[in-house]
């Protein structure tokens, strides 16, 4: 083996241990605990998975669940990337309504998934729909003048003309 110096190294370990405890403790924004209190409360769930000797060498930094407002900002960031891609590659304006953001946030039902669920929703619904329409119009020789994404009956709607 080789000798490796970890003196100036930070190793991050993540776990879903204590997710339910965090969700319960943070359910009411008025009673949200301080990070130190949350870290102490997590000790028991962490001890069920990790040996005490390991936990003694770690610093527990708990996360707080993402609020709907924060999830909405993440959705806007992701939609901004899609907008940039569409506008750069297809040279057409791309827009979406506030209802699109709200719909994506409402579909993020698993708190342990955090913002990853947003990517899954956009990747598995919105992007395939856009791709199909762009490809079919390309094959038929029909131009796309604009892309507007909206919501109707709890589903995404699209306008391409």
The answer to whether residue 116 scores a pLDDT higher than 70 is yes
Q: What is the rounded distance in angstroms from the CA atom of residue 111 to the CA atom of residue 65?
A: 7
Do 146 and 134 contact (CB within 8 A), yes or no? no
pLDDT of 109 reads: 73
For 147, the token pair is 């892309």
> Which residue range is the domain that position 1 belongs to?
1-65
For 60, the token pair is 């527990």
Is 83 found in the same domain as 152? yes
pLDDT of 10 reads: 87
pLDDT of 111 reads: 63
The answer to whether residue 29 scores a pLDDT higher than 90 is no
The answer to whether residue 91 scores a pLDDT higher than 90 is yes
Is 145 found in the same domain as 75? yes
28-47 average pLDDT score: 90
The CATH number given to whatever domain includes residue 118 is 1.10.8.60
Is 116 found in the same domain as 148? yes
- For 40-52, write each residue's pLDDT tens digit: 999 999 999 999 9
Is 153 found in the same domain as 84? yes
With both helix axes pointing from N to C terminus, report the angle between 98-107 and 68-90 in degrees, rounded to the nearest 10: 120
* φ, ψ for residue 104, nearest 5 deg: -60, -45
Global pTM reads 0.77
Is 130 found in the same domain as 80? yes
Q: How many domains does the chain have?
A: 2
């Amino acid at each position: 083996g080789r000798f490796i110096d970890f003196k100036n190294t930070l190793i991050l370990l993540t776990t879903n241990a204590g997710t339910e405890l965090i969700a319960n403790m943070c359910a009411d924004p008025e009673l949200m605990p301080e990070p130190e209190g949350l870290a102490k409360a997590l000790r028991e769930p962490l001890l069920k998975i990790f040996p005490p000797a390991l936990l003694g060498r770690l610093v527990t930094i708990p996360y707080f669940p993402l609020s709907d407002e924060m999830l909405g900002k993440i959705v806007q960031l992701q939609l901004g990337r899609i907008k940039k891609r569409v506008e750069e590659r297809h040279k057409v304006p791309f827009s979406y309504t506030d209802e699109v953001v709200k719909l994506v946030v409402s579909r993020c039902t698993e708190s342990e998934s955090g913002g990853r669920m947003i990517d899954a929703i956009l990747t598995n619904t919105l992007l395939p729909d856009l791709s199909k329409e762009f490809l079919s119009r390309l094959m038929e020789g029909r131009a796309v003048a604009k892309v507007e994404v909206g919501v109707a009956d709890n589903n995404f709607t699209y306008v391409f003309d």
